[in-house]
A = this chain, B = another copy of it.
Amino acid sequence: MAKMAVRKMVERQTGVALWRQIADRIRLAISNGDYDATGMVPPEMALAREFGVNRHTVRSALAALAEEGLVRAVQGRGTLIERKERVTYPISRRTRFSQGLGRQVKEIGSKLLDHREVPASHETAAPLGLSPGAPLIELRTVSSGDGRPLSVAVGYFPADRFPKMAEEYARLGSVTKAFAAQGLDDYVRVSTEIVARHADTDELALLKLSPGAIILEAQAVNADLEGRPVEYSRTRFAADRMKLRIET
């Protein structure tokens, strides 16, 4: 495979440092499996030629990726790839968080960050079919796969119908089980909206991301089988660790 350097695939004076642009490109190449043949990143000099930059600039990029735990440099050998998987998260009419990831990661962690009762805002009332001011239970959770944080989510539930949502979630560690404990045996996804944007500082901290990282946000409404909304949630995924699959 003759690797013809197309060259100059990074741009200067744009407010984004070259080393960060290059780190992003290498991270993408790793997750695409471009380096699977050797299990290693190409030598620093080769990358420097490919991107048309100095070797030191490539080193800065690789240092950032090493900091993320994505690669590990070994003197005299090269830079080994430590991790490359992108977890696929399925979205269907019967989307269940834990279930979809079950086969891809050995251990799923769900932690309840906090919870409180809040009045519905315009933003939260509309998708739930309630009037602004109606009592909601707000749950903030962070989920991880094999120890790596994958998503932070905030969920809103009608407080009059599911008064024990927080307690049951804390006890059972699953929205589906918490619903079941309160008499709701089944529910379906009625709508999902997806946007992508830069992470803010909260998200950087919770998901252990490096600045400039991208968030894939899914805003979802779940309803019972009669069509009454039971949950409005905003789940923020670390974009470089996840892929969403839509099953229609």
Contact = CB atoms under 8 A, between A and B. Distances in A.
B212 A16 contact: yes
Contacts of A88: 193
Contact of A15 (B20, B191, B245): B20
Interface string A172-205: 0000000000000000111111111110110010
Interface in A10-36: 10-11, 14-17, 19-21, 23-25, 28
A239 interface: yes
A211 B20 CA distance: 11
A194 to B, nearest CB: 4
A204 B10 CA distance: 11
Interface string A204-248: 100000111011100000000000000000000001101111111
Contacts of A10: 201
Contacts of A21: 198, 211-212
A161 interface: no
Nearest to A215: B196
A64 B15 CA distance: 10
B248 A28 contact: no
B15 A192 contact: no
A15 B214 CA distance: 15
Contacts of A8: 201
- Chain A's interface: helix, strand, loop or mixed, by majority? mixed
B194 A216 contact: yes
A198 B240 CA distance: 10
A194 B247 CA distance: 11
A212 B205 CA distance: 20
Contact of A28 (B194, B198, B212): B198
Interface of A: 7-11, 14-17, 19-21, 23-25, 28, 64, 86, 88, 91-93, 188-198, 200-201, 204, 210-212, 214-216, 239-240, 242-248
Top 4 A-B residue pairs of the complex, sorted by shortest distance between their CB atoms? A15-B20, A14-B211, A196-B196, A15-B17
